[in-house]
Amino acid sequence: DRKREAPAAGSPIQPVIKDVGEIYSRLLDHRPVIQGEIRYFVKEFEEKRGLRELRVLENLKNTVFETNEHVLPKCEQAMRDNLNETFKRCKHSNS
């Protein structure tokens, strides 16, 4: 049973180990790149989605305003007119 001994600090193998570590991290460790891409995607998605949802809410607000200010009064007036006419016809039919 041989135990591995750590190379001495001044050993010529230290730069090789350091280079191998750097090569590994550049070629095979994609976490930093992937994490950056994920952050970029999430930021873009949230910004675009936020703007889209803002436009949807603005359109909804305009539709509700239009309905309250114009459509609803027209419908109420048409209902009153038609109910008055219907009431008159019912009175005439009963007499």
Query: Whole-model pTM above 0.95?
Result: no
pLDDT of residue 64: 92
- Residues 2-24 have pLDDT tens digits of 445 555 556 788 888 888 888 88
Give yes or no for a contact between 45 and 51, defined as CB atoms under 8 angstroms apart. Answer: no
User: What's the gap between Cα 41 and its chain centre?
Assistant: 11
Total structural domains within the chain: 2
Q: Are residues 16 and 40 in the same domain?
A: yes
Is there a domain that residue 3 lies in? Answer: no
- Residues 32-61 have pLDDT tens digits of 888 889 899 888 888 888 788 888 889 999
Could you list the residue range(s) of the whole structural domain that residue 84 is in? 51-94
Is there a domain that residue 5 lies in? Answer: no
Instruction: Assign 1 a pLDDT band (cuts: 50, 70, 90).
Output: very low
Is there a domain that residue 4 lies in? Answer: no
Q: Which two tokens stand for residue 1?
A: 């049973």
